[in-house]
A and B are shown apart, each in its own frame.
Chain A
């Protein structure tokens, strides 16, 4: 329970509150402001996880997202796989354990909520470190709309891990003042715990805000757990900082080995001593601060090992004053210890040769090989990178339109320089936006960075062996030996090397290992680092939960549900629904004890024998208006539309330019210059788009306008021999006799002042009237029809009965009886293909060789000879070999069953099918394999009920 490595005071944690958590079954405590990693370090625990391939212990090796070591699994409050202990904010009741390579998903659904917000700004600043804060302040003072996002719990960036002084006060005070000033600007959005993870074109940045994760079980249920910010910014300032780079040496993966800057952060921010006895191994001046700070905090710094031959004369003095031994021209060649480093092996390095090593006892080995600017977002936006010899790192090589990189992300590594760079980049952004700078205060005064010595680029310390414990990518257990194998195998491209070794493919996507791998590979191949380059940076910058990206588009909101105006009535009547596109359509209305077959047989019989009613409101409806409307439709339909008389209706077929049927439906001529076009339910949007495309791009000279009226008009076919009685009763003003209101005509009327349109259209072969009414009044009209039909036994029916009734008449459903490879002729609809029109869409394709192939599939009817088998839709049709057997595979297929039902009218099952040369096979018997048996079926014409059409007029 104790935290022996907690400093007596300091840090940005709230020591007045104690949090309890469990790690690997052990209970520990920490404070608000801790991360899981800092709390574990305070307890003296470095070893966190087990490596994926070799099973080696791994520990906390950095203080934030660049850490390759501290992979954990969260168990409570809800299981979450593979997070870094360094980025998990501590909360009461947290239960976690170290990972052995693979994370574990919860077995129950995640009940947390996720959402997304769009936001538009003039300037988006990514990163609230010194450069980012100055950039945001500068832009805000100029009156720009600003967003500032930062991935940590509080602003400050690198300042949180130092003892820097700005304007004479500790850095946190300057940060607090900056944050307060930003908060006072109404047009500034400042988000912490928000990681910009993707930068796309035109200033589009995706950022993930972790809103309640740090609250643990106390997270309010009415607040989304995480939120995706979709930010569109006119200018983006990337001030994402830099990641310290390790140096590779033998056994460089032991717990207790940590980046120098990370150790400094644990001390200053979290009040944690990462060890008692430290050795620092560095190639640059910046890491000396870590040694000195830890020394002041009571850590015994055994040695500073500086790889540079002369070391750093300036910093050496600082160390000597503190009594710290400095070994220049020396390197760490290896380490000892198992669960924790116990010794660093140190040896002189001269002219590339490593001398004899000696062991220095330590429980903390700090490493710094320089800094890698966080160029991830810049590179994602296709910014080119160049290798900088002085830094030993990749830097932006160009200016991107609308994207600027500032501060250490651009390779500026001193505080004064970062502050100035933030101002410079913001000024440039403002200038580009045409905004005056406004009143700007001076940049904060900081102590000048003492003149120092140039850093040395050192990727690895030769280990005298094969490099098989010199780890490049700790998360993939990939070593220098693996790189050597890859280049030895003949690989030259960094992309191949990455794939061969798997370096950079793990959780951290190579944040620490990527540049090392490039550098070492270049050494192995004897080429410049610029030539090997990096592998491609891809979104996301850090991992993002699937559910966060799914947002609210889950469950019922996954896709919109469209319902008709009468939907509630269908629900109340117990309808079973079918998804058709986004629509919910009643499929059938079972009565107690009925299954679908029984319900459909009843609905069919009732309709053919009396009267039925269908909610056909989902049919697509397009209002086509204009002086050239008739000409326009003539060009789109295969048949002639212009000869249609006002007041009449015609069935039409539409093909693509390839001559294949794409949709069908009826067309009502409302006026000389106006038509109502009906489409299939699923084809409504596509047909409108199709029409608009032709109209706007090919025939703009045609004076036609199009509007979808699908949702404005509800449509109720009233079907069956008694339909005339029902419609006549509800609309007494209309003469519904066949003479006054013949088939394929329409009439307007009104009901209680509400306009209603009636049309004699039949999709069943029966006498039928389609009732069209403004959807606002649809429910009332529907109920009047039901009421008026009651004496006649009116029966509501669903799509299943509709399908049976139309199939009995051989009417195809586009998309069910066709599949994009079927012409009107294949459907037996040559009658719907105009021979008079010089051209229409698809006509020319009918003349291609394949269209006159006698073996084209044609729509026919099938009658199972046993009068009992309902052929499964989709069944294939075959011819048997001599002897009545199925030939061996591949068995030649004649076609397939497109529609199949039990017919109340016929008293037997029947089917529609597309069959090769089908019409010439009428009368033949073919076979359909069903569940291992071969069902003989007779090929018939496609019209099985009332082929004479005697019923349509009642």
Chain B
């Protein structure tokens, strides 16, 4: 039961947040150009490190905004949170 720092709202209870998995997996520029293996990597495969992990979260029961975080999956501690860069695509 952590306090998670929403980059817009400040620290809020863990239950208000939705987890979005690995960050930095952009939607492919041209899916049709990918072979089945490459496409499967995008659809199904995500990193699963024990330790530092760049993730996406959304303050689902609050401001409903998505943000990126760096968290340790072993200790659950957040290293930092940041607003996504809204000036370019592919912040997923």
In the complex, chain B residues 40-54 whose Cβ is within 8 Å of any chain A Cβ = 42-44
- Closest A residue, CB atoms, query B11: A202
- Closest B residue, CB atoms, query A708: B64
CA–CA, A657 and B28, complex, Å: 11
- B65, chain A: closest CB distance, angstroms: 7
Q: Is the CB of B31 within 8 A of A701?
A: no
Q: Is A845 an interface residue (CB 8 A)?
A: yes
- B56, chain A: closest CB distance, angstroms: 6
Q: Is the CB of A657 within 8 A of B84?
A: no
Q: Is the CB of B32 within 8 A of A839?
A: yes
Q: Is the CB of B2 within 8 A of A845?
A: no
- B34, chain A: closest CB distance, angstroms: 7
The 8 A CB mask of A686-714 against B (1 = contact, 0 = none) is: 00010011001111110000000000000
Q: Is A388 an interface residue (CB 8 A)?
A: no
| Further pairs besides A698-B26, A845-B43: 17, Cβ < 8 Å | A201-B1, A201-B77, A382-B75, A658-B43, A689-B18, A692-B66, A693-B20, A693-B66, A696-B65, A696-B84, A697-B91, A698-B92, A700-B84, A700-B89, A844-B28, A844-B39, A848-B39
Q: Which residues of chain B come closer than 8 Å to A689, judged between CB atoms?
A: 18, 58, 60
Q: Which residues of chain A come closer than 8 Å to B91, judged between CB atoms?
A: 697-698, 700
- B1, chain A: closest CB distance, angstroms: 4
Q: Is the CB of B64 within 8 A of A844?
A: no
- B6, chain A: closest CB distance, angstroms: 13
Closest 10 CB pairs of A and B: A844-B31, A200-B1, A202-B3, A700-B86, A201-B2, A696-B66, A697-B92, A204-B1, A698-B92, A697-B66
CA–CA, A845 and B56, complex, Å: 24
Q: Is A232 an interface residue (CB 8 A)?
A: yes
CA–CA, A845 and B32, complex, Å: 9
Residues of A within 8 A of B (CB): 200-202, 204, 232, 382, 657-658, 689, 692-693, 696-701, 838-839, 843-845, 847-849
- Closest A residue, CB atoms, query B92: A697
- Closest A residue, CB atoms, query B86: A700
Q: Which residues of chain B come closer than 8 Å to A847, judged between CB atoms?
A: 32, 36
Residues of B within 8 A of A (CB): 1-3, 18, 20, 26-28, 30-32, 34, 36, 39, 42-44, 56, 58, 60, 64-66, 75-77, 84-92
For chain B, what secondary structure do more than half of its interface residues adopt (helix, strand, loop), or is it mixed?
Answer: loop
Q: Which residues of chain B come closer than 8 Å to A839, judged between CB atoms?
A: 30-32
CA–CA, A692 and B60, complex, Å: 10
- A338, chain B: closest CB distance, angstroms: 49
CA–CA, A838 and B26, complex, Å: 18
Q: Which residues of chain A come closer than 8 Å to B66, judged between CB atoms?
A: 692-693, 696-697
Q: Is the CB of B86 within 8 A of A697?
A: no
- Closest B residue, CB atoms, query A657: B43
- Closest A residue, CB atoms, query B43: A657
Contact A845:B39 (CB < 8 A) given known A201-B2, A692-B66: yes
Q: Is the CB of A698 within 8 A of B89?
A: yes
Most chain B CB atoms below 10 A, which of A382, A843, A845 = A845
- Closest B residue, CB atoms, query A635: B27
CA–CA, A26 and B67, complex, Å: 65
Q: Is the CB of B92 within 8 A of A701?
A: no
CA–CA, A201 and B88, complex, Å: 35
Q: Is the CB of A202 within 8 A of B89?
A: no
CA–CA, A223 and B87, complex, Å: 55
- A795, chain B: closest CB distance, angstroms: 40
Q: Is the CB of A701 within 8 A of B34?
A: no
Q: Which residues of chain A come closer than 8 Å to B92, judged between CB atoms?
A: 697-698
> Can you list 23 A-B pairs with a CB-CB distance of less than 8 A?
A200-B1, A201-B3, A201-B77, A202-B2, A204-B2, A232-B3, A693-B20, A696-B58, A696-B65, A696-B66, A698-B89, A699-B89, A700-B87, A701-B86, A838-B32, A839-B30, A843-B32, A844-B32, A844-B34, A844-B39, A845-B43, A847-B32, A849-B36
- A694, chain B: closest CB distance, angstroms: 8
Q: Which residues of chain A come closer than 8 Å to B43, judged between CB atoms?
A: 657-658, 845
Q: Which residues of chain B come closer than 8 Å to A201, judged between CB atoms?
A: 1-3, 76-77
Q: Which residues of chain B come closer than 8 Å to A697, judged between CB atoms?
A: 20, 56, 66, 84, 91-92
CA–CA, A701 and B56, complex, Å: 18
- Closest A residue, CB atoms, query B65: A696
> Quick one: which of A658, A698, A701, A848 contacts B27, CB cutoff 8 A?
A698
- Closest A residue, CB atoms, query B18: A689
CA–CA, A870 and B32, complex, Å: 45
CA–CA, A696 and B92, complex, Å: 9
Most chain B CB atoms below 10 A, which of A202, A692, A845, A848 = A202
> Quick one: which of B2, B28, B89 contacts A701, CB cutoff 8 A?
B89
Q: Which residues of chain B come closer than 8 Å to A204, judged between CB atoms?
A: 1-3
Q: Which residues of chain A come closer than 8 Å to B34, judged between CB atoms?
A: 844
Q: Which residues of chain A come closer than 8 Å to B32, judged between CB atoms?
A: 838-839, 843-844, 847
> Quick one: which of A382, A698, A843 contacts B31, CB cutoff 8 A?
A843
- Closest B residue, CB atoms, query A659: B43
- Closest A residue, CB atoms, query B26: A698
CA–CA, A839 and B44, complex, Å: 19
- B3, chain A: closest CB distance, angstroms: 4
Q: Which residues of chain A come closer than 8 Å to B18, judged between CB atoms?
A: 689
CA–CA, A768 and B75, complex, Å: 57
- Closest B residue, CB atoms, query A658: B43
- B26, chain A: closest CB distance, angstroms: 7
- B38, chain A: closest CB distance, angstroms: 10
- A383, chain B: closest CB distance, angstroms: 13
- Closest B residue, CB atoms, query A841: B27
Q: Which residues of chain A come closer than 8 Å to B28, judged between CB atoms?
A: 844
- B69, chain A: closest CB distance, angstroms: 13
CA–CA, A625 and B37, complex, Å: 37
Q: Which residues of chain A come closer than 8 Å to B77, judged between CB atoms?
A: 201
Q: Which residues of chain B come closer than 8 Å to A696, judged between CB atoms?
A: 58, 65-66, 84
- B16, chain A: closest CB distance, angstroms: 13
Q: Is the CB of B76 within 8 A of A693?
A: no
- Closest A residue, CB atoms, query B44: A658
CA–CA, A657 and B56, complex, Å: 18
- Closest A residue, CB atoms, query B32: A844
CA–CA, A698 and B75, complex, Å: 29
Q: Is the CB of A693 within 8 A of B58?
A: yes
Contact A692:B1 (CB < 8 A) given known A201-B76, A700-B84, A701-B89: no
- B27, chain A: closest CB distance, angstroms: 5
CA–CA, A658 and B31, complex, Å: 12
CA–CA, A701 and B27, complex, Å: 14
CA–CA, A736 and B30, complex, Å: 46
- A469, chain B: closest CB distance, angstroms: 44
CA–CA, A698 and B58, complex, Å: 14
CA–CA, A204 and B1, complex, Å: 7
CA–CA, A692 and B58, complex, Å: 10
Q: Is the CB of A848 within 8 A of B36?
A: yes
Q: Which residues of chain A come closer than 8 Å to B56, judged between CB atoms?
A: 697
Q: Which residues of chain B come closer than 8 Å to A849, judged between CB atoms?
A: 36
- Closest B residue, CB atoms, query A205: B1
Q: Which residues of chain A come closer than 8 Å to B36, judged between CB atoms?
A: 847-849
- Closest B residue, CB atoms, query A200: B1
CA–CA, A213 and B58, complex, Å: 42
Q: Which residues of chain B come closer than 8 Å to A232, judged between CB atoms?
A: 3
- Closest A residue, CB atoms, query B64: A692
- A68, chain B: closest CB distance, angstroms: 30
- B46, chain A: closest CB distance, angstroms: 12
- Closest B residue, CB atoms, query A843: B31
CA–CA, A204 and B11, complex, Å: 13
CA–CA, A693 and B42, complex, Å: 16
- A710, chain B: closest CB distance, angstroms: 15
Most chain B CB atoms below 10 A, which of A700, A845, A847 = A700
Q: Which residues of chain B come closer than 8 Å to A658, judged between CB atoms?
A: 43-44
- A382, chain B: closest CB distance, angstroms: 8
- B86, chain A: closest CB distance, angstroms: 4
Q: Which residues of chain A come closer than 8 Å to B88, judged between CB atoms?
A: 700-701
Q: Which residues of chain B come closer than 8 Å to A699, judged between CB atoms?
A: 89
- A670, chain B: closest CB distance, angstroms: 22
CA–CA, A838 and B27, complex, Å: 14
Q: Which residues of chain A come closer than 8 Å to B20, judged between CB atoms?
A: 693, 697
